[in-house]
Amino acid sequence: MMADMLFTAENITKRFGGVTALDNVSMEIPRASIFGLIGPNGAGKTTFFNTLTGLYQVDEGKFTFDGQPLNVKAPHQVAEVGIARTFQNIRLFGEMSVLENVMVGRHVRTKAGAFGAIFQTAATRREEAAIMQRSHELLDYIGLSKRAGDKSRTLAYGEQRRLEIARALATDPKMIALDEPAAGMNATETIALRELIERIARDGTTVMLIEHDMRLVMKVCQHLAVLDYGRKIASGTPAEIQKDPAVIKAYLGGAHTEVTK
């Protein structure tokens, strides 16, 4: 095994009735890198993501995360282990303020209970102040401090995407998984997103990117894995992937490959 892998998947298989959605998929993600998971529609990207985040249980194979076997029984345990995620179709807490959205992200790293809240114990007040401070820092980080008090549903589309990332970062993740973060973004917004992703990785959080935008993926990722019909058909650096005949075939169809030959 290579030096410092944060996450490994070994021979993951997931079946739904007769359909094999994931077939013997393995991959490794080095620490503090940006890793891209790509593939045509229906390739199994989301299924892979859902098994990893505890929504489905795997039929065969195992995950290792940060040196420990990853064994989540319920979705809420994933954040505790250190994997945070964003959603393909933005899922913010719309009626809560921008700041409160990020504060919810601190939930899993804090512990004040109802008793502490009602009697405003010293420990609770201290924790609350720390939550507030960290959340403001994260809003600064993504450049949304000015909107802290606004309801999150009033944000522009690109801002909502960024807020979702801040909320995920608030859980102190070792790995952040972004599910098609560039979907629906214009060119300027995509560039801002790219810079944010690169900054997150530089600051030490591993990024797993599930994305359709090939330009973004090729530019930003250090490693890629390509899924097609539930199987991993290729993995490597963006340059290697771009030349891989199996990938070209999967994306452009068999006939085209024959023509180019």
Give the interface with other proteins as residue ranges (CB under 8 A).
Answer: 53, 74-80, 84-85, 87, 91-97, 99-100, 103-108, 110-114, 116-118, 120, 124, 127-128, 131, 149-151, 154, 167-168, 171
Query: What residue type is 191 in one-letter code?
Result: I
Three-state DSSP state, 49: helix
Q: Which is nearer to other proteins, 18 or 115 (CB)?
A: 115
Smallest distance from other proteins to CB 178, Å: 12
Read out DSSP for 57-85?
Answer: --SEEEEEETTEE---SSTHHHHHHTEEE
Beta bridge partners of 35: 208, 223
Taken in order 66, 70, 75, 76, is the CA torsion positive or negative?
Answer: negative
Q: Which is nearer to other proteins, 28 or 172 (CB)?
A: 172
Q: Which is nearer to other proteins, 117 or 252 (CB)?
A: 117
Smallest distance from other proteins to CB 160, Å: 12
- Contact present, 74 and 108 (Cβ < 8 Å): no
Smallest distance from other proteins to CB 125, Å: 10
Query: What does the alpha-carbon distance between residue 101 and residue 95 come to, in Å, rounded to a whole number?
Result: 9
Q: Which is nearer to other proteins, 59 or 100 (CB)?
A: 100
Smallest distance from other proteins to CB 177, Å: 10
Q: Which is nearer to other proteins, 71 or 154 (CB)?
A: 154
Other Cβ atoms within 10 Å of 67 Cβ, number: 9
Q: Which is nearer to other proteins, 62 or 91 (CB)?
A: 91
Torsion of the alpha carbons at 162, 166, 168 and 173, rounded to the nearest 10? 130
- In this structure, the chain runs to a length of 261
Smallest distance from other proteins to CB 108, Å: 3
Q: Which is nearer to other proteins, 64 or 77 (CB)?
A: 77
Query: What does the alpha-carbon distance between residue 108 and residue 165 come to, in Å, rounded to a whole number?
Result: 16
- Contact present, 171 and 79 (Cβ < 8 Å): yes
Smallest distance from other proteins to CB 120, Å: 6
Three-state DSSP state, 22: strand
Smallest distance from other proteins to CB 75, Å: 4
